[in-house]
Structure 1
Amino acid sequence: MPPLLPVIFKLLLLPLFLWLWFDTSALNVSLYRWPALDFGRASSSGSRPAFSSSSSSPAAETVDPFNHRDRSDRFVKGTRPTLIKNATIFTGTADRLIVQGDIFVDKGIIQDFGDSLELNLLPPETSFVNARGAWLTPGLIDLSSQLGISAIPRIQVGADANSHKGPVVPWLRVIDAVSPQDEGFRLALASGVTTVKVNPGDQNVIGGQPAMIKTRRTHEGTPTSMQVDPQSEPWGLHHGCGDDLATYGMTKMDAVWALRSAYHDAQEQGAKLEELCEDAAMEHCPDVSLIGNDMRTHVMRGKAKISVHCDQVVDLDAWAQVSREFELPVTILHGAREVWLSTGLLNQTWHGPPVVALSVEHNSGKEEYRDSQFAARILSDANITIAIESGYPNLTPRTLAQGARQAYYYGLSENETLAAVTSVPAIAAGIAHRTGYIREGFDADLVLWDSHPLALGAKPRMVWVDGALQLNVSRQENSRTHHTKNLRAPSTPNWDYERASAIAHAGQQPLKPRFSTNDEVVFRNVSRVWIRDDDGELRRVFEAKDPRSNGIAVFSQGRLLCADMFCLNAGVGDTEVDLRGGVIMPGLLAYGQNIGMSRISNPLSTNLELELLLPVSDDNGGMPRAMDGLSLQTRKALEAYRSGITSAVLHLLPRRFHGLEVFGLSVAFRPGALHAMERGAIIQDITALHIKLSTIGITSQLAVLRRLLYGEIERDTDEGQWFKHASEGIIPLVVDVDSADIMALLLILKANVEDRIGSSMRLVFVGASEAHLLATEIGRANVGVILEEPHPLPLNWDSRRTLPPGKDDIIGVLQKHGVRVGSGSGSRFVLAEMVAEGIMDETQAFTVAGANLEALLGIRERNLDVVAYFGGGAFNLSGKAIAVASVQRAVVDIL
């Protein structure tokens, strides 16, 4: 028997040996290439296939010896270990994409995780978190941010973002300008963003060296200590192109010449350095140029990365040529508004296509005019790796997750969307050896969500950076916030037809309704029908108890005839539409959005309202009216109409009037109308008088406003008459203001005006970021508030005292004190986020984006239009607007 013991012992050890061999060999893959990841790309039918483990680039799934460490170089002494139990873990790795289980974090790194985690000896100081099935993801990574260099509250906008010392400044380093006190870092953490690539601005051909920053404030309190890896080599160079370079009066040809010239000089310097090294018989040439540490030389020798912000195809093509000419591999392409129009162009860049970091923001500027909400899906279908970026400070850190949800809504697959804000940006940024994934040995940058990360309203409950808990709102939740729910990704509509149309028409696809009719239209398989009655009150006409009891709704000349399970009015041969369980609900009202004026927002020739910026004579020629500049059938107006916005209130850009910023008189109209003379196109030609007040020069502004409202100046002019109407309460006076101090002064002025002339002013605050500070006084004064954001941010000095994330929302605070609140976002997605977050229910959402706005803006005619949504409703990701029924226009538009 004894001779058999060694054999038995070896047999027992064999499984362990095989496990170790396969486990380590599977991970022995090169790290430093950007991948074309296969995270379950959406199929052409619009369905979302399950994740395929056959990744097209195994480079995505990598670990190097760095991850065999048991302590992070960023570990903060005193940070307690944490055990998170019962989580739905998105790892980001192909072999184990989603794990139901536990995760143990200690010494700043992920020590272990899995579905059967066995930890016998936990440190006694370990913190325990029961996730109760909630989603846990790696911390979000934003590839395009100016956190720290465009710090908020802004005192001087963009002061440190761009250099004005010339178009080529490769020696500048972003890290030298990062302010750790930027409030944006706190907001980023509250949004689940744990790492950002801080770029210089895009106004230089070569703008300088970006920095990879973690959003956790360190004990040292220095920007250097916030870098992901302070000991690593500089990241590389960031480049701008296109219209952003107009700062230096450069044309596109000037910019490309400056780019070629810069790298030609670097090429010559590198050649001289190599020659010098050969003459000195040096075996290894140092990584410095003859003029010092010039990053261009590092880039050309493959020692650093390149990121480029380009939007238009013409600029992208020029960059592709330059990259081949100088053998410059582009790592990240930012912005890329038009790249979906020419996906093959990316293959022409040196060393293969870069990761495309798509911007969340969609507007109608010249460079963005052919942008498409379908770009992410189209690029994905072309096997281009996608990341999502926020572009902060143009947008807030919160919009990174919101932008991912919109990309998902318009067709990007679930897994690829999650990867687009975690693992893909980590790989592109060169930090995928330590973050962007949930793996043993990786930095413990984690986000525990209150629902599926792609669900509307999903918010981080807890956020860890380097294993240190940075955010915990679980204990701060109140009755207005929603709890763990919706653990599955929401269903989304099929956009195959619209996507194909966008491709076929190069981004200029027809947006007009497919047809309009005043005959009967029958909607079948309807789950709910809500309308507004003639008084504007919301009324529930029909609501099915379950899908088997869905009903029918019949419209004729835009008016509802019947809504029930069985409508006798349903004729034969009329237009029929199957809503597949969708709903019919009132249309939304947009305020302040430039959807009926400019066709392209930047060039003067297409933007009718820019004439107000031109010099004017002493005789101002009367109060400007938005009605006079209205331009219907613009792409922005039609896109809004197709999203469920059936009415809009538009004002002009401001002009100076006695030192006061005056927007003029607004107009209410229907964005789906053909022209101003069409029946029902103009709801009201004059609604309210709009002005803006800010801290700079406030004493002079208030002095002018006081005299205008008292009727002491300009009493015989058109401007004077309209301010008199405002003081008498004939029309509302809508003031764009954020500061609570200025709002308090306006409340005092309102009382003085009313006492003096015996009137009742209709005063409305717009923006009103600090309104919660005097909610009681605003309510008592019967003053309304129109919020442009449900969670106002301290973007400038006037709005520095906004409510912090995780506390009560400003809408709830104002409504609690009897303030009539309207939503000025004009976005169905923003309203849907508020409904999902529990800030309001659907009925309240229609009120703040409908009846309340109408009352605050002085609109007398109630908008009775309703929108039919296929597959869902206005406030979820499954709904898709496919028809609009208008009583006033007496038609049904089939979109």
Structure 2
Amino acid sequence: MASRVPQNAAIWTGRDEGREVLKGDILLDQGLVKWIGHADKHLLDEYQDLNRVDARGRWVTPGIVDMHSHLGVNSAPSLRGASDGNSRKGPILPWLRALDGLNTHDEAYRLSASGGVTTALVLPGSANAIGGQGAVIKLRPPTDRSPTGMLLESPYETNTTLYDPTTHFRFRQMKHACGENPGRVYSGTRMDTIWAFRQGYEKARQIRDAQDAYCVKARNGQWSGLGEFPENLQWEALVDVLRGRVKVHTHCYETVDLDDLVRVKHFRKPPAAALFATHSRYKRESYRGSEFAPRILADAGIQVVMKSDHPVLDSRFLLFEAQQAYYYGLPHNLALSAVTATPATILGLDHRIGFLEEGYDADIVLWDSHPLALGATPQQVWIDGVPQLATSHTADKPAHFQRLPRTPNFDKEAKEALKYEGLPPLKPKASVSHAVVFANASTVFVRDADSTTGIKQVASTYSVDGLFSAVVKEGKIVCVDTSTSASRCVRSALQESAMVEYVDLEGGSLAPGLTTFGSPLGLEEIMGEVSTKDGYVLDPLQDRVPKVVGGNGALIHAIDGLQFGTRHAL
């Protein structure tokens, strides 16, 4: 394996709660980070076949860790023969293992790796209260193409090896779920699901207590009539949960579900929260989801992890979840940690991944811009020191893309989200201004019916020094001028309008609003709740359309069911 040296990089290590940034080089050799610093020529001379990569000041981070994924068990392409994420053999199945259904030919592995994901926890789905055990895998194809070869650290129970107390403990991972999903699959209620939990954990407690009593007698030399050690293959994993040897990952949304789980399984400390940034309101239990949740939870001292739940969200874009969380107020160090250091720590693997440090796995990503800048794309991804991208698809970007992006102040909105439990009032802000001055714009686009694209650029800092101001009256841009207090554009607005509102774009762009096509916006409030939709539209190619609605020749108009005031319009 060739040694590699990304040089002249801005190195985000993950240390100091995500605040440590070093300048220099990284030596990758034999699958490990050998050192971080400035290249010593004499040291490098010791390595043959050395591959140098000039980062040119760009950012290097640890590989992204996806702590909630179904890669390999809900595979791409999505085929019935490779759908192994959920068993429907009962609500309590702690003995099942995602590893036993892992598809090593899932096309999504390399796609996810192209987005910087190097490690994923593959979990069973959420159809069951206890769906089974997860598997932490590297996204580099193993030479033997086996699921076992993809494991990051094989738990002792997987390969029947003995525990070595001189090394880091190898935790197993287990999936729990509550709320709507198991209730829907097994036609039950939350009460039924929690009763299933209580039964399962009671069985595990009985076995644990019998084992403890056995060990007490053995230590005291009371061997007479002791018999065999009490074990049960089906329940041994849940017994290990009670002994703190298994990390539990629970699919839960609402307070009632979280409260139920706390009463079923007593936690030693507050759990972490794995979240989507903005993906919510698709079912009732997620309807109170807020884009400010990561920031609010972090402020309360909760460890925040951003997840993909792949294929719910494409894990290739997991970094985008961190970028959105940062935009809505999660501190930058915690946002980047939320897809690297924090999930690695929660998984019990922070001795190998999630950080850039000597002796750690050589899982690193070289980005074309600051990782929290929208559009940040890997120039190269190394897993165990092996480059994963034959060709990178990046663009040359201005220098300011290497800086941490500025974000709005959402303190007021975050407080309202907390005050109204995720559902702040939908009250539009009435404008009393006669004119609006958009100051400090870097580019301005307007509609143009004569162009092939329907839009044209009328101002750009690439062609003119300085930023621009644009004046809008009665919904139309009336003038664009250089952004100075004495510009003709602004003077005209001040002279002709009694009320003028100023909006500082801080170097942003002004453009016509976007148009969505085929969206159920205004026809559907909660996707998973039939009563919040406008109903089923009959297809004359598949159904017989009743005459009362026009028969098979009827033309259905969405506008007839359109409602305004939906939260999805925010």
- TM interval, short-chain normalised: 0.7 to 0.9
Asked whether 1:297 is paired with 2:221, we answer no
Give how far 1:547 is off.
8.3
- 1:520 corresponds in structure 2 to 434
1:362 to 279, 284, 295: 279
Give how far 1:353 is off.
1.1
Give how far 1:521 is off.
1.8
Amino acid of the residue matched to residue 502 of structure 2? V
Matches for 1:317-336 after TM superposition, within 5 Å: 317-324=259-266
Distance of 2:431 and 2:272 partners within structure 1: 43
Distance of 1:631 and 1:195 partners within structure 2: 43
- 1:261 corresponds in structure 2 to 199
Give how far 1:221 is off.
0.8
Give how far 1:625 is off.
2.6
Shift of the 288–295 alpha-carbon distance from structure 1 to 2, 3 Å rule, reads farther
> Is the contact made by 1:102 and 1:117 (CA closer than 8 Å) also made in structure 2?
no
Asked whether 1:435 is paired with 2:343, we answer no
- 1:609 corresponds in structure 2 to 535
- 1:624 corresponds in structure 2 to 556
Amino acid of the residue matched to residue 515 of structure 1? A
Distance of 1:319 and 1:460 partners within structure 2: 39
Distance of 2:431 and 2:398 partners within structure 1: 43
2:501 to 568, 576, 579: 576
> Which SS does the other structure have where 1:608 is aligned?
coil
> Is the contact made by 2:214 and 2:229 (CA closer than 8 Å) also made in structure 1?
no
Distance of 1:287 and 1:265 partners within structure 2: 18
- 1:388 corresponds in structure 2 to 306
- 2:166 corresponds in structure 1 to none
Shift of the 384–115 alpha-carbon distance from structure 1 to 2, 3 Å rule, reads farther
Give how far 1:304 is off.
1.7
Deviation sequence 1:652-701 (CA, Å, 0-9, x none)? xxxxxxxxxxxxxxxxxxxxxxxxxxxxxxxxxxxxxxxxxxxxxxxxxx
> Which SS does the other structure have where 1:112 is aligned?
strand
Amino acid of the residue matched to residue 376 of structure 2? A
Matches for 1:740-779 after TM superposition, within 5 Å: none
Deviation sequence 1:452-478 (CA, Å, 0-9, x none)? 11122211111111112222425xx5x
Matches for 1:702-721 after TM superposition, within 5 Å: none
> Which SS does the other structure have where 1:101 is aligned?
strand
1:102 to 25, 32, 55: 25
Amino acid of the residue matched to residue 491 of structure 1? R
2:269 to 352, 355, 374: 352
- 2:61 corresponds in structure 1 to 137
> Which SS does the other structure have where 2:239 is aligned?
helix
Distance of 2:140 and 2:246 partners within structure 1: 25
Shift of the 129–276 alpha-carbon distance from structure 1 to 2, 3 Å rule, reads same
- 1:426 corresponds in structure 2 to 344
Provide TM-score, normalisation by structure 2: 0.86
Give how far 1:418 is off.
1.1
Deviation sequence 1:836-859 (CA, Å, 0-9, x none)? xxxxxxxxxxxxxxxxxxxxxxxx
Give how far 1:504 is off.
2.0
Distance of 2:229 and 2:366 partners within structure 1: 44
Asked whether 1:401 is paired with 2:319, we answer yes
- 1:182 corresponds in structure 2 to 106
- 1:531 corresponds in structure 2 to 446
Provide TM-score, normalisation by structure 1: 0.56
- 1:496 corresponds in structure 2 to 411
Give how far 1:160 is off.
0.6
Q: Which runs of 5+ in 2 are unaligned?
A: 159-171, 482-486
> Is the contact made by 1:287 and 1:298 (CA closer than 8 Å) also made in structure 2?
no
Distance of 2:237 and 2:426 partners within structure 1: 47
Shift of the 560–468 alpha-carbon distance from structure 1 to 2, 3 Å rule, reads closer
> Is the contact made by 1:449 and 1:459 (CA closer than 8 Å) also made in structure 2?
yes
Shift of the 428–122 alpha-carbon distance from structure 1 to 2, 3 Å rule, reads same
> Which SS does the other structure have where 1:102 is aligned?
strand
- 1:6 corresponds in structure 2 to none
Matches for 1:641-680 after TM superposition, within 5 Å: none
Number of corresponding residues: 529
> Which SS does the other structure have where 2:315 is aligned?
coil
Distance of 2:397 and 2:477 partners within structure 1: 37
Matches for 1:466-505 after TM superposition, within 5 Å: 466-474=384-392, 481-482=395-396, 485=399, 486-505=401-420
Moved more, 106-115 or 569-578: 569-578
Distance of 1:154 and 1:552 partners within structure 2: 48
Distance of 1:618 and 1:543 partners within structure 2: 54
Shift of the 190–493 alpha-carbon distance from structure 1 to 2, 3 Å rule, reads same
Q: Which has the larger Rg?
A: 1
Give how far 1:360 is off.
4.3
- 1:84 corresponds in structure 2 to 6
> Which SS does the other structure have where 2:16 is aligned?
coil
> Is the contact made by 2:278 and 2:290 (CA closer than 8 Å) also made in structure 1?
no
Matches for 1:742-821 after TM superposition, within 5 Å: none
1:192 to 116, 132, 140: 116
Shift of the 433–151 alpha-carbon distance from structure 1 to 2, 3 Å rule, reads same
Distance of 2:560 and 2:455 partners within structure 1: 32
- 2:424 corresponds in structure 1 to 509
- 1:724 corresponds in structure 2 to none
> Which SS does the other structure have where 1:430 is aligned?
coil
> Which SS does the other structure have where 1:149 is aligned?
coil
Shift of the 391–287 alpha-carbon distance from structure 1 to 2, 3 Å rule, reads farther
Q: Which runs of 5+ in 1 are unaligned?
A: 1-78, 325-349, 640-895
Shift of the 303–270 alpha-carbon distance from structure 1 to 2, 3 Å rule, reads same
Asked whether 1:226 is paired with 2:150, we answer yes
> Which SS does the other structure have where 2:519 is aligned?
coil
Asked whether 1:146 is paired with 2:70, we answer yes
> Is the contact made by 1:562 and 1:569 (CA closer than 8 Å) also made in structure 2?
no
Distance of 2:64 and 2:218 partners within structure 1: 48
